[in-house]
């Protein structure tokens, strides 16, 4: 029995999240359905990085074990991905289906994950499902100072939603910055792992810095207090993209 990785990208608007769940449609459920239809065999997928309802991904991964695909060449696996894309909804696409080492794990072997959060400040009908419309003044210099400050911390308890089952709130960030990309204000963050709701909590709380509602010192204190009730998780999901997972 061999192990395979599936790389996917998707628009999360119509889904309850990445991971399969009861009585709700998910990215995993659609991929498993396409695998079943094409290979006429049920597969159990393990996901790399969970994304919440409405969140998008330019690159995310599953792995599975199977004997059904063992005699297929790389070219045949590529053709299989092509045919499964014809089965999948238009908002989910398989980028690659490929064989890996038997002990490879798409979640635990990930070295970094990179997210971007997109904000637009001038009304347009073309971005409402892929970015956050925030038509208020934001000080990008203050946002940048707040983003840089995050690199000095590893305990992000304040930016993890309640009722999460993790053993540690330690995360090592290797990049944290605000930039202007065309007409968009974009927050980019890269780290070895992320907590439930963490990126949206960071963005929402930094926006309070950028609007002058709190100071940089207040922001630092929110981090150091390790109290998630003080962070702001209210920014909507559609602005968030999982951009890359590296192995």
Catalytic residue among 52, 91, 103, 155: 52
70 has catalytic annotation: no
**184 neighbors 119 (Cβ within 8 angstroms):** yes
- Candidates 245, 239, 231, 132; CA nearest to 191 is 245
**What is the dihedral sign for C-alpha 202, 208, 211, 214?**
negative
Q: What is the DSSP letter of 228?
A: G
CA distance 81 to 229: 44
Nearest to 244 by CA among 195, 199, 188, 201: 188
Biggest distance spanned by C-alpha atoms of the chain: 61
Q: How would you classify the pairing of strands 112-120 and 92-100? A: unpaired
Token digits for 138? Answer: 């934001």
Q: How many CB atoms lie within 10 A of CB 18?
A: 25
Active site amino acids: 52
């Amino acid at each position: 029995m061999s192990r395979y990785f599936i790389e996917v990208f998707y628009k999360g608007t119509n889904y309850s999240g990445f991971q399969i769940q009861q009585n709700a449609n998910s990215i995993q459920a659609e991929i498993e359905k396409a695998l079943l239809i094409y290979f006429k065999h049920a597969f159990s997928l393990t996901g790399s990085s969970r994304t919440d309802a409405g969140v998008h991904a330019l690159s995310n991964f599953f792995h599975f074990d199977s004997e059904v695909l063992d005699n297929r060449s790389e070219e045949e696996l590529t053709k299989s991905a092509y045919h499964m894309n014809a089965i999948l909804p238009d908002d989910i696409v398989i980028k690659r289906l490929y064989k890996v080492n038997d002990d490879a794990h798409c979640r635990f072997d990930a070295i970094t994950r990179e997210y971007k959060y997109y904000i637009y400040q001038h009304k347009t009908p073309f971005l409402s499902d892929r970015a956050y419309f925030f038509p208020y003044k934001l000080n990008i210099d203050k946002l940048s100072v707040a983003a840089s400050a995050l690199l000095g911390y590893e305990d992000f308890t304040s930016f993890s939603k309640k009722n999460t089952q993790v053993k540690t709130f330690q995360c090592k960030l290797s990049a944290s910055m605000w930039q202007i990309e065309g007409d968009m204000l974009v927050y980019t963050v890269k780290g070895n792992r992320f907590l439930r709701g963490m990126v949206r909590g960071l963005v929402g709380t930094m926006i309070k810095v950028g609007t002058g509602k709190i100071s940089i010192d207040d922001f630092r204190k929110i981090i150091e207090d390790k109290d998630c009730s003080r962070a702001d998780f209210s920014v909507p999901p559609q602005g968030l993209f999982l951009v890359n997972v590296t192995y």
